[in-house]
Chains A and B, each alone.
Chain A
Amino acid sequence: MTTTIPAPRTPYAPPKKRRVNWEKWGWLYMRVSGVFLVVLIFGHLFVNVVAGNGVRAIDFAFVAGKWADPFWIVWDTLLLWLALIHGANGMRTITNDYAHNPMLRRLILLAILASTVVLLVLGTLVIYTFDPCPANAVAGTLPSFCPAK
């Protein structure tokens, strides 16, 4: 004698698979970028504030000096991208937690995305097109270390 007992409940139909699981990758990104940011941020703070002449040494010439070295260009690019996306992803998470109105949520998320993209583009542009002594600048506006001065 065989008895067939039906399944206790209709099986759960998993939600339609989106191609990218943003929640999973967002979560993973926070962990991985966090590890890199610890090194990048503390390295940045050490070089700028602790080593050398301390915080008083930071001026236009100091930044220009750093960006003359490709090492610091790469460092600051990594710092910019990782930290900005890390922060924006955190804001996205907080928005998802607390913004209940779907319209408001959409608006905030779009604002975060837009500001992040603008800041990333501007920041990257500054790092890679930075020229402390532009050729056709007005004479009085150039810093003291430029050869044209």
Chain B
Amino acid sequence: MTTATLEGTPSAAPEVPSFTVTLIVRRYDPDVDAEPYWQDFDLQMYGTDRVLDALHKIKWEQDGSLSFRRSCAHGVCGSDAMRINGRNRLACKTLLKDLDISKPIYVEAIKGLPLEKDLIVNMDPFFESFKAVQPFLIASSKPDKERLQSVAQRERFDDTTKCILCAACTSSCPVFWTDGQYFGPAAIVNAHRFIFDSRDEGAQVRLDILNDKEGVWRCRTTFNCTDACPRGIEVTKAISEVKQAILKGNPNKVDIVLG
């Protein structure tokens, strides 16, 4: 018999510590409220719970009108970026026990994008910037098989392929808060992903787009974006590399030397 079975009686799992935590959520209903306001909720939570679980608990047990986005709930879809204790985080990747639960936890929508309701913002400006950098492969060659690439060439842009477009970086950027025209870190990261791809031929087009008044030169290197990225992308480094590429010319010509 090869089927895996439980042998013996399973020992009781160690009890997960439970605690009371206060969540202060910035609420806003455009039909009712003139201004957003803070509302607090006391919750009995466990050491394995995330901020997203706390929000679920509020929505399912205390106040069904609480609105927020979430989809996969496992840090891949990028729907539930929000400001948790003043820092942009994914609610599904932030464990309550890692926060200071002796104090209330403040949860609000990400900044710099139009607030629609509670924790939901209008993401259209964010995706407009994303589209503007042409985030798709531009190649004139039509190979019979796949386009070949060396390990080193793939490694060159590996970091920026991890982006899940959650907007945590862009909405943590102080330049983006005050200047909605700025492309923002996420768009530059996705431009970087193709600019440094040896298979792509559109690097110069993207560099010209970003070599603009509202392009990479607005970056102040504050590293908020690198701190905010839930995927650990070195966003500020990627932006600096795009700056360097603009100054030094098309990287795919330079890249051969680096590789």
Tell me the A residues contacting B by CB distance below 8 Å.
8-9, 11-12, 14-15, 21, 23-24, 26-28, 96-98, 100
Known A8-B136, A28-B247: A96·B215 in contact at CB below 8 Å: no
B40 within 8 A of A: no
Chain B residues contacting A23 (CB-CB under 8 Å) are 211-213, 215, 217-218
Any chain A CB within 8 A of the CB of B134? yes
Cβ-neighbour of B134 out of A12, A21, A27, A96 (below 8 A): A12
Contact at A15–B212, with CB atoms within 8 Å? yes
In the bound complex, do residue B211 and residue A24 qualify as a contact, i.e. CB atoms below 8 Å apart? yes
Q: Which residues of B contact A14 (CB under 8 A)?
A: 205, 208-209
Can you spell out 29 A-B residue pairs with CB atoms less than 8 angstroms apart? A8-B136, A9-B131, A11-B134, A11-B205, A12-B132, A12-B205, A12-B209, A14-B205, A14-B208, A14-B209, A15-B212, A21-B211, A23-B211, A23-B212, A23-B213, A23-B217, A23-B218, A24-B217, A24-B247, A26-B217, A27-B217, A27-B243, A28-B247, A96-B179, A97-B175, A97-B179, A97-B218, A98-B178, A100-B178
User: B9 to chain A: closest CB distance in Å?
Assistant: 59
Give B residues with C-beta under 8 Å from A.
131-132, 134, 136, 175, 178-179, 205, 208-209, 211-213, 215, 217-218, 243, 246-247
Within 8 Å by CB of A97, from B132, B136, B178, B247, lies B178
Chain A contacts for B209, CB-based, 8 A? 12, 14
What is the distance, in angstroms, from B73's C-beta to the closest C-beta of chain A? 31
**Which residues of B are found within 8 Å of A96, using beta-carbon distances?**
179
Question: How far is it, in angstroms, between the C-alpha of A37 and the C-alpha of B192 when the chains are bound?
Answer: 32
Residues of chain A contacted by B179 (CB below 8 angstroms) = 96-97
- Collect the chain B residues with CB atoms within 8 Å of residue A12's CB: 132, 134, 205, 209
Which residue of chain A lies nearest to B175 when distances are taken between CB atoms in the complex?
A97
Q: How far is the CA of A28 from the CA of B211 in the complex (A)?
A: 13
Q: Give chain A residues whose Cβ lies under 8 Å from the Cβ of B178.
A: 97-98, 100
Contacts of A97 in B (CB 8 A): 175, 178-179, 218
- Minimum CB–CB distance for A79 against chain B, Å: 25
CB distance from B244 to the nearest CB of A (A): 11
The 4 closest A-B pairs by CB, nearest first: A23-B217, A27-B217, A14-B208, A23-B213
Neighbouring B residues of A24 by C-beta, 8 Å: 211, 217, 246-247
Alpha-carbon distance between A9 and B136 when the two chains are bound, in angstroms:
10
Q: How far is the CB of B184 from chain A (nearest CB, A)?
A: 14
Task: Provide the bound-state CA to CA distance between A72 and B237, in Å.
Answer: 39
Cα distance, A43 to B246, chains bound together (Å): 33
Contacts of B136 in A (CB 8 A): 8
- In the assembly, what is the distance between CA of A83 and CA of B253, in Å? 36
Distance between Cα atoms of A21 and B208 in the complex (Å): 11
